Structure 1
C-alpha cells in the first residue's frame, strides 16, 4: 500500500500529465455556465452587453457572450404581479394568512372631511414593456409602490369618510386605477395596471366604537325615513284615487244633467214647432197625454159636466186600469 507521500506524488503526477485537459474542461464548463440561459414561458430575456441594451430574447434556450460580457435579465411579462399595502400575505394556501403589524404607515390616511381611515388595498399589474421597465425608471417596483400610495392618498383625500367606508369604495378603486395608469404612462415604466382592489377599509381602532355608534344612528334614521315613505306611498295614492273618483262622479253627474237639459230643450223646441203649426190640435194632444198620465194615479174619481150640475153615474176608470195592468202582466 502507498503511504501519504506516495499518494500525493501520484496525484501530482496525474494532474501534471492531464493538466491541459483539466484546464480545457474547466474553461468549457465556465463558458457553458456563463453563456447558456433558459428563458421561461412567461418571461422575456433582456440582454445587456457591457451595460448597454443589446436585444430581447424569446422564451426557450438562449446563448449570450460568456465571461460577463453580456448579462441577461429575465422579466415575467406574461405573469400578473401584485403589491400589497397596509398588510402582507404570510402564507398563500387554501386558507391564506395575513399580517398588519408594522404596515400602519401605509394604510392610515386622511379623508376630505379631516377624518382618519385605515385603507388596505392591492395593486395587480403586468409588465408590458421589459425595456422600459428596466431602463426608463430606476427601481420600477419601488417607484410603482410610491406612486400607488400617492394616488390612493390623493383620491381618499377628495372624499368623505362615509364615502370611503361605504358606497364610494368601488369609485375610489376605479379612480386610483385610472390615476395610477396615467402616472405609469407618464413615467414610461412599462407597467400596465390590471386592477386596484380595496381589500379592507375601516376606521382606526381608537375611534371604532364612536364610528359604529354614528353608523347605527344613521341606519336608524334611514329606517325611519323608509317607514315614513312607505306610509306616504300607502295613504297618498289612496287619497288621490278617492279624489279622482269624486271628480269623475261629478263630471258624470254634470254630463248627465247637461244631456238631460239638452234633450228636454230639444223636445220643447220640437213641441213648440208643432204647436205653432196647429195650436188647438197640439193643445188637445198635450191635454190628453197629461190626463193619461195623471188619472191612473188618482183614487176615486167624480166626473161632472162643465156647469157641475150633472154627475156621470158610471165610469169604470179604475176597473179599466186594473184590467190593463193585468193584461200587461
Structure 2
C-alpha cells in the first residue's frame, strides 16, 4: 500500500473573518437576552441605571439596556407576604409542618409582672411602594423583622402574664398591628401591615404544668360563677315576679273591698232616703225582697198565722220553678 500525505491549507484571513462574525453574533445574543426582562403579574420591575433609580415598569415583557448598564429588581407588590417569629414553616400544605428549634430567643419575652412567656406570632404585610421599599430603608425586610420583635416585646411588657395567655391575646395583636404600621409610616419603607396573628402563646416549658393547673382552676372558678349567675337569673326574677303578682292581687282585693263597701254604703244611704220618705212601704218591700232570697234556700216550709192556729197548705217552693224564676 502506498502512503499518502494530505496537507490542508487554511487561509488565516478566512478564519479571522468567520471568527469575528461568530463573536459578533455571540455578543448580539448576549445583549439580546440581557435586554429582555419579563415581569410577573403580581410584580413591579424597578430599573436601576448605572446604580441610580431610573423607572418602574409594569407586568409584562420589558426591554432595558444590556451588558449590565441597567438592572431590574422584581418586587411582589400584589402578593401578601409574611414573617414568622418563634417558629418556621418547614413544609406548607394541607398538613403544614413547623419547627421551633433555634428560634426561642425570638419568642421568649418578659411580661409586666416579671413572668416569662413564649409568644409565637405572624406578621402579614404587602409592599405598596416598590421605590420606598428599595431605597428608603436598607434591607427593608430585616428592618421590618426587627421592628416587629421590638413592638411585640413592648406590648407584652405592658401586660400581665394572665392577660397575654388568656383574655388579652386579641388586644395584644391589635396593638402590635397599629404600632407597627405607625413605625412603617415613620420609616417610609413602603410596607402596609395587613394583620398580626398570635399563633401560640404558652408559658415556658419548665413551668407549663403549674400554669396549666392555675388556668384550669380559673376556668373552673369562672364556670361556677357562671352557673351561680344563671341560677340567680333564673330564681330571682321569678321571685320578684311572684312578689309583684302577690302585691297586685292584694291591691286588687283591697280595691274590690273598698269599692264594695262604698257601694253598700251608697245602697244603704239610698235605701234610707226612700225609707224616710215612706217607712211602711219601704219596710214591706225590704221584707218581701228578703223573704224572696231566703225561702228558696231552705227545705220544707210550713206557714202559720201569728198565733199558730191556722196552718196554710205546704208550699213546695223548691220543686215548683217557672222559667221566669
Pair in the same fold by TM > 0.5: yes
How far residue 25 of structure 1 moved from its aligned partner, in angstroms, is 2.1
SS in 2 for 1:199: strand
How far residue 301 of structure 1 moved from its aligned partner, in angstroms, is 7.5
Deviations 1:213-264 (A, max 9, x none): 1011112212222232233233323322332332232122212211210111
Between the aligned partners of 2:166 and 2:321, the Cα distance in structure 1 is 84
Between the aligned partners of 1:162 and 1:282, the Cα distance in structure 2 is 91
Q: Contact 2:304 / 2:312 at 8 angstroms: preserved in 1?
A: no
Between the aligned partners of 1:118 and 1:187, the Cα distance in structure 2 is 28
Between the aligned partners of 2:29 and 2:302, the Cα distance in structure 1 is 149
Instruction: Please state if 1:316 is matched with 2:312.
Output: yes
Between the aligned partners of 1:38 and 1:156, the Cα distance in structure 2 is 45
Between the aligned partners of 1:22 and 1:295, the Cα distance in structure 2 is 146
User: What is residue 37 of structure 2 aligned with on the other side?
Assistant: 37
User: What is residue 308 of structure 1 aligned with on the other side?
Assistant: none
Between the aligned partners of 2:67 and 2:270, the Cα distance in structure 1 is 128
Between the aligned partners of 1:295 and 1:77, the Cα distance in structure 2 is 107
User: What is residue 181 of structure 1 aligned with on the other side?
Assistant: 181
Deviations 1:91-114 (A, max 9, x none): 223322111111111111122332
Q: TM-score, normalised by structure 2?
A: 0.86
SS in 1 for 2:319: helix
Q: CA 1:18–1:288 in structure 2 vs 1: closer, same or farther (change >3 Å)?
A: closer
Deviations 1:114-162 (A, max 9, x none): 2221111111111111111111111101111111112222222233222
User: What is residue 103 of structure 2 aligned with on the other side?
Assistant: 103
How far residue 46 of structure 1 moved from its aligned partner, in angstroms, is 0.8
How far residue 27 of structure 1 moved from its aligned partner, in angstroms, is 2.4
Q: CA 1:14–1:109 in structure 2 vs 1: closer, same or farther (change >3 Å)?
A: farther
Q: Which runs of 5+ in 2 are unaligned?
A: none
User: How many residues end up aligned between the 2 structures?
Assistant: 317
